[in-house]
Chains A and B, each alone.
Chain A
């Protein structure tokens, strides 16, 4: 079964630095053309497939287009041309407290975040204890999260995301904030996902971890797909760039 399929995907970002709505209304046609032509190429003609149970690493230099690729998979971005096909429930691992509200308690945020990630309230409530236990936040869970440290926030976010029971887990550089013990625990959880046969798409500059975790890599260089396939070969190519 194919989980993710990119067919000749090209993505341009719209760049907006218009002079605001005043200019737009006053010089409608000129500004309109400017918006149409002012765009930035982020991915060019990319094709790949991720099968069920694949654990794929996406590597490449800063600005290569990795996060853009994940955005297209998550469906928050739309390709300019080409086709993106996704089968299954997706859970993105969010960066530090995305979608959290500082004045709500950890517990309240877990419920809100779980819903935003696609769970029903009933599902979350049934997993609430396990989420809280995994986060190891103890009695802090009933404190407003504005008093949390950044590591504590990422624990909470990670705990929610891994409990959404996704078919496809998207990870974009989010493992590095917790303390050593929690990092180990997160890694274990990811391996557990792997053993359960989930599909994982992993973006990281931690090449060691990519080599360890993934059975396939996709190397993106200057917005193009340079290589896909064997991890060792991909990493070698990447290191020569």
Chain B
């Protein structure tokens, strides 16, 4: 059975990756284009026009935006995850959450292969990756992956019951994007609003990644908060998914 589950996950993930890169030879560049283009816009607004004072602002932008793209894309795609596979869900009883697993893995793969671009920017600004990454990155990657999986599964499930989830999710993600220190540093948030960082479930993840790319440091406080968020999200989404999974075939 283990072998079967392993094969299922690998093949579903391979499919997602293949489909993305088959559609255009430029698939890789397209997946870089979005965060890079955003980085350019925000660089213009905050560095050129309003002159934010921050060391390594570009690198800061880039590292946050690439992580955000992984989160944002996975959750947006998940709104349609089960509806897109309707004919299969109506007939075959495979473990439905594996679709969410493969979604996170293929989007995570995309993030992984964009790390060289981040390193490119690092080198340009005289930052150097550290050997410690070999331990840090897998840890942060797994915790982030669990968080994204849980939210994707939740969104995919609820979207079967309320088809207008997609818009709500899009709105919420835009809101959270601006509430997360991606385009402005934490140090610019006034003290009395700092608590927002803890309420925003994505903030600790982004902060952990930024710290990793900018200072080669694993911020244990934010890592721990991320871990708690991921764990709670996993428990809640698994519970809801298990309650509702038998209705999927009726509703798609």
* Residue among A14, A92, A97, A121 making CB contact with B247, cutoff 8 Å: A14
Q: What residues of A have a CB within 8 angstroms of the CB of B163 in the complex?
A: 20
Q: What residues of A have a CB within 8 angstroms of the CB of B18 in the complex?
A: 103-104, 108
Interface residues of B in 208-252 (CB under 8 A from A): 246-251
Which B residues fall within an 8 A CB radius of A? 3-4, 7-8, 10-12, 15, 18-19, 22-23, 85, 87-94, 158, 161-165, 168, 246-251
Question: Provided the pairs A94-B91, A99-B87 are in contact, do residues A18 and B162 lie with their beta carbons within 8 angstroms?
Answer: yes
Question: Provided the pairs A94-B87, A98-B91 are in contact, do residues A118 and B250 lie with their beta carbons within 8 angstroms?
Answer: no
Q: What residues of B have a CB within 8 angstroms of the CB of A22 in the complex?
A: 164, 168
Q: Which residue of A lies closest to B1 (CB)?
A: A120
**A76 CA to B246 CA, complexed, in Å:** 7
Q: What residues of A have a CB within 8 angstroms of the CB of B246 in the complex?
A: 77-78
Q: What residues of B have a CB within 8 angstroms of the CB of A95 in the complex?
A: 87, 91
| Stretch from A2-10, A109-117, A213-221 forming part of the interface with B | A109-117
* Residue among B93, B168, B248 making CB contact with A74, cutoff 8 Å: B93
**A108 CA to B3 CA, complexed, in Å:** 19
Asked whether, in the complex, the Cβ of B91 is within 8 Å of the Cβ of A120, the reply is no
Question: Provided the pairs A101-B15, A103-B19, A121-B11 are in contact, do residues A76 and B89 lie with their beta carbons within 8 angstroms?
Answer: yes
Asked whether, in the complex, the Cβ of A20 is within 8 Å of the Cβ of B162, the reply is yes
Question: Provided the pairs A16-B251, A76-B93, A92-B91 are in contact, do residues A103 and B164 lie with their beta carbons within 8 angstroms?
Answer: no
Which A residues fall within an 8 A CB radius of B? 13-14, 16, 18, 20-22, 24, 71, 74-78, 90, 92, 94-95, 97-99, 101, 103-104, 108, 111-112, 115-118, 120-122, 144
Most buried by A among B23, B93, B158, B168: B93
* Residue among B4, B7, B85, B247 making CB contact with A99, cutoff 8 Å: B85
* Residue among B15, B92, B162 making CB contact with A24, cutoff 8 Å: B162
Asked whether, in the complex, the Cβ of A120 is within 8 Å of the Cβ of B23, the reply is no
Q: What residues of A have a CB within 8 angstroms of the CB of B8 in the complex?
A: 115-116
Asked whether, in the complex, the Cβ of A99 is within 8 Å of the Cβ of B88, the reply is yes
Asked whether, in the complex, the Cβ of A103 is within 8 Å of the Cβ of B91, the reply is no
A–B pairs, 27, beta carbons within 8 Å: A14-B250, A14-B251, A16-B161, A16-B251, A18-B162, A20-B162, A21-B158, A21-B168, A74-B92, A74-B93, A75-B93, A76-B93, A76-B248, A77-B246, A95-B87, A98-B92, A99-B87, A99-B88, A101-B19, A103-B23, A104-B19, A108-B15, A112-B11, A112-B15, A115-B11, A117-B92, A144-B22
Q: What residues of A have a CB within 8 angstroms of the CB of B4 in the complex?
A: 115, 118, 120
Question: Provided the pairs A14-B250, A21-B165, A103-B19 are in contact, do residues A98 and B93 lie with their beta carbons within 8 angstroms?
Answer: no
Asked whether, in the complex, the Cβ of B249 is within 8 Å of the Cβ of A77, the reply is yes
**A78 CA to B249 CA, complexed, in Å:** 9
Closest 4 CB pairs of A and B: A98-B87, A20-B164, A21-B162, A99-B88
Q: What residues of A have a CB within 8 angstroms of the CB of B19 in the complex?
A: 101, 103-104
Asked whether, in the complex, the Cβ of A76 is within 8 Å of the Cβ of B249, the reply is yes
Question: Provided the pairs A92-B92, A104-B19 are in contact, do residues A111 and B3 lie with their beta carbons within 8 angstroms?
Answer: no
**A92 CA to B249 CA, complexed, in Å:** 14
A117 to chain B, nearest CB (A): 6
* Residue among A13, A104, A115 making CB contact with B7, cutoff 8 Å: A115
Question: Provided the pairs A76-B91, A94-B91, A99-B85 are in contact, do residues A121 and B7 lie with their beta carbons within 8 angstroms?
Answer: yes
**A184 CA to B251 CA, complexed, in Å:** 35
Q: What residues of B have a CB within 8 angstroms of the CB of A18 in the complex?
A: 161-162
Asked whether, in the complex, the Cβ of B15 is within 8 Å of the Cβ of A104, the reply is yes
**A118 CA to B250 CA, complexed, in Å:** 22
Knowing that A71-B91, A77-B246, A111-B11 are A-B contacts, what are 15 other residue pairs whose CB atoms are under 8 Å apart, sorted by A's residue number? A14-B247, A16-B161, A20-B163, A20-B164, A21-B168, A71-B249, A74-B91, A76-B249, A92-B92, A98-B91, A103-B23, A115-B7, A116-B88, A117-B92, A122-B3
